[in-house]
Amino acid sequence: MKHDNDLVVREDRDGTAVLTVNRPESHNALNRGVQSVMRWHLEEIADDPGVGAVVFTGAGDDAFVAGADINELAVRTPVDGLAGPLQRLFETIATFTKPTVAAVNGYAFGGGHELALACDIRIGSTDAQFAFPETGLGIIPSAGGTQRLAEVVGQGVALDMILTGRKLAADEALRMNLITYLVDPADLLDTAMTVARRIRRKGPLATELARDLVKRSGAIDRDSGLLLERLAQAVIYSTEEKNEGTTAFREKRRPDFDLVRHDRHDRHDRHDNERNAQQ
């Protein structure tokens, strides 16, 4: 029997935290233990200045995450449905302070599909499959699936997948923009790490603000979005990050945003300490 902390394994690689759901004997189903450990890892990563991106994947070859744990699902009550712990976890991922990448190997069903949708970028292996089987169990996707799937693939495809439960193969998922990269299974994690590395080399605040603006674009009107762009750019123009980026370009060298990232984290810590001292 696995220790709880082994249910989601964290491995840091060159500034990227790889979180692997580690229940291959259960197709990496998302039981309460997995959710708790994943939440704990995310709290640690959020405060780690050495991590600039997060990759999610699943242990084994068969499944990314095959959904919720059916044994737990069978005894859930209306109170559990209203509390929505898995929805809240995936909302944490969708609004996380650092970019997220889903490396989807095998089945991404139900909650696994919703986990992938909560990530910023999705990479699928050629054996990846996506589905929402919930209505066949007499329930609905309730961890963000009804909302995020429609945002990504459109309402028509979302209704087809959710109401019929049909499986979407990897090549179809690529055509429908559900994934943005399609690779051989052997290349999946390396591709995810390459994408994460490209992101990490960019300005951290610029990345965070640009990501937030794109995610807000479907929920606000154009004029408001353009105003937020200008406000965000005004903030960035006052930062050392912008100075480092433009100076490096003129000097024909790669910008050192890691130093900027650590300085920003240190200032945040000092601010928190000062605020706590005043309370």
Annotated active-site positions, please?
A: 114, 134
Determine how β-strand 63-65 pairs with β-strand 121-125. unpaired
CA gap 115, 109 in Å, rounded: 10
CA gap 119, 94 in Å, rounded: 6
3-state SS string over 6-26?
HCEEEEEECCEEEEEECCHHH
Does residue 88 come out as left (phi exceeding 0), alpha (psi in the -120 to 50 range) or beta?
alpha
In angstroms, what is the C-alpha Rg of the chain? 20
Amino acid identity, position 62? D
